């Protein structure tokens, strides 16, 4: 996976607030987006430390605090567990944000539009 390609797609197509769900220990896309001037929020169920550039919030996407996601132009997730796909998509739909999921190479979500951008691929839902 090439995070710089995904970040380039997001920064060219979205502005303002974006939320990465399930950030874990890989902050690469979020950092690239912050450098492009987007307001990046990172969310995970784990209690993680923010690096200062990006606002980090502990939340469970299966029982989300919707105020975290409101006003986002995009909610995205990089290689989340497949069992979280429908929760991420549902939250995006509830708050009226687009949803981008970059799955593992052997996983294919139901619905969404497959996008191939610069040789990188992901699924996109627009609400």
pLDDT at 51 (0 to 100): 66
**What is the Cα–Cα distance from 7 to 47, expressed in whole angstroms?**
24
pLDDT digits (tens, 9 = 90+) for 35-75: 999 999 999 998 877 767 788 999 999 999 999 999 999 99
Report pLDDT for 106. 74
- 3-125: CATH topology is Rossmann fold (3.40.50)
Please compute Rg for the chain using Cα positions. 13
Q: What average pLDDT does the segment 93-121 reach? A: 90
The pLDDT of residue 105 is 76
Output the pLDDT for position 120: 94
Parse the chain into domains and list their residue ranges. 3-125
**pTM of the entire predicted model:** 0.94
Enclosing H/E stretch for 91 = helix 85-95
Check pLDDT > 90 for residue 1.
no
Q: What secondary structure letter does DSSP report for 83?
A: G
CB atoms within 10 A of CB 74: 22
Q: What is the pLDDT of residues 5-40, one digit of tens each?
A: 999 999 999 999 999 999 988 899 999 999 999 999
DSSP H or E stretch at residue 7? helix 3-13
Closest residue by Cα to residue 33 from 69, 58, 9, 2:
9
């Amino acid at each position: 996976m090439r995070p710089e390609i995904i970040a380039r797609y997001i920064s060219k197509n979205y502005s303002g607030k974006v939320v990465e769900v399930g950030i874990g220990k890989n902050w690469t896309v979020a950092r690239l987006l912050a450098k492009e001037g987007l307001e990046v929020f990172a969310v995970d169920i784990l209690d993680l430390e923010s690096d200062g550039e990006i606002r980090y919030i502990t939340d469970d996407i299966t029982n989300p605090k919707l105020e975290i996601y409101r006003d986002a132009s995009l909610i995205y997730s990089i290689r989340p567990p497949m069992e979280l796909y429908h929760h991420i998509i549902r939250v995006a739909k509830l708050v009226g944000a687009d949803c981008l999921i970059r799955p593992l190479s052997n996983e294919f979500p139901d619905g969404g539009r497959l996008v191939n951008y610069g040789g990188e691929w992901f699924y996109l839902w627009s609400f």
